[in-house]
Amino acid sequence: MPNRFNMFIHYYPPHPLKQSRIWLVLVVLWVINGSSFLAIKVSIDTIPPLFSAGIRFSLSGGALFILYLLRNRATHQHGERIGVQQWKDTLVLGVSLFVGGQGLLVWGTQYLSSGITGLLNSTIPLWVALISMLVFRKHLTKKMIAGLLAGFGGLMLLIAPSLGNGTLSPVGTAALIASSIAWAVGSLYSTRAHLPISILASSGMLLLVGGLMLLVPSFILREFDDVRLLQISTASTIALLYLIIVTSMIGFTDFYWLVRMTTAALANTFAYVSPVIAVFLGWAILKEPITSLTLVAMSVILIGVALMVTTPSKSKSNSKNKPILKN
């Protein structure tokens, strides 16, 4: 089924069995991404941020692509042809999703706590909706708008105390906002990109290329000069391994599958739920207190996610303006 992103059709709600699988993948993605902010914070404690991210994505992407090749060899298949256009789209997504999205996130985490990083990252669905409306002329339903407002309102309830007392770093905050916008642009572009049909191949290509591209600014900023293998802590090493295997290899593959099977807005709902999970992880692992305001805010966020998940968006234009969302 080549060139699956070359045509445009209306979005139809999936079969109940497929809907159950979508919910399962969503929950797994929420948990994985929610734990990633803590892991990133621990990993960059003794490993430079961009270098850490570059190594993480390069290794995970290389592993996924090797698995793709080994699977084809084991099944005596030659695999699909990966052409120039597919590599071009991979480069575009490498810049938006990884250098812009993940690179700025990891770099900005230096100046913020893992919880605040997760909270600022939760603005991704808002940017996805705004860009979709302004650029792709998508009309959001009333429930979709209510979900976005609820999610953003819950976010404000969570971060308002930090904004009020001036504890947020302007540099880190700006980096996370730019990161969220870059990720939103990349996730929307990916629904129209010409990438391999195989999830292993496409995810492996994106992670590998994105990781190698992140090593370029790391080299420019001379992060390699700060790498001292003997000074890397055991905690940072374990956190980096978790990010490579669980967050990147499993999490990114789940995310990309959701983008293909559903919509960019739905796939990015992890940005609303993950901060909630991050708060609970902080309470369970770091003994951070959970206030009544936090519980109220989390409830509002989850309501917003439910509204977004159960309501597909509509388009002002005809079917030619809708991205294909086939299996």
21-37 pLDDT, tens per residue?
888 888 888 889 899 99
Predicted TM-score (pTM) of the model is 0.78
Which class for 45: exposed (0-12), middle (13-18), buried (19 or more C-beta within 10 A)? middle
Position 236 pLDDT exceeds 70: yes
Domain definitions of the chain by residue range: 26-321
Please give the pLDDT value at position 118: 81
* 327: confidence class by pLDDT, cuts 50, 70, 90: very low
Query: If you search the block for the tokens 């669905």, which residue do you land on?
Result: 125
* CA neighbor of 276 nearest in space, from 266, 290, 258: 290
* 200: confidence class by pLDDT, cuts 50, 70, 90: confident
Token pair of 93, please?
Answer: 């997504």
Fill in the DSSP letter of residue 78. -
Please give the pLDDT value at position 310: 61
Q: Please say whether the beta carbons of 238 and 45 come within 8 A.
A: no
Write out pLDDT tens, residues 245-273.
Answer: 999 888 888 887 887 788 767 777 777 77
Position 4 pLDDT exceeds 90: no
Q: What is the dihedral of CA 35, 36, 42, 47, to 10 degrees?
A: 170
Fill in the DSSP letter of residue 251. I
Position 105 pLDDT exceeds 90: yes
* 191: confidence class by pLDDT, cuts 50, 70, 90: confident
Please give the pLDDT value at position 10: 38
Token pair of 262, please?
Answer: 């559903």
Averaged pLDDT of the chain: 79
Query: If you search the block for the tokens 């001036």, which residue do you land on?
Result: 166
- Whole-angstrom distance, CA of residue 113 vs CA of residue 269: 21
Please give the pLDDT value at position 79: 64
SS3 273: helix
Mean pLDDT of 69-84: 77
* 138: confidence class by pLDDT, cuts 50, 70, 90: confident
Query: If you search the block for the tokens 């060139």, which residue do you land on?
Result: 3
Position 84 pLDDT exceeds 50: yes
Q: Where are the alpha helices (DSSP H) in 79-169?
A: 84-93, 104-109, 114-121, 124-135, 142-164
- Whole-angstrom distance, CA of residue 207 vs CA of residue 200: 10
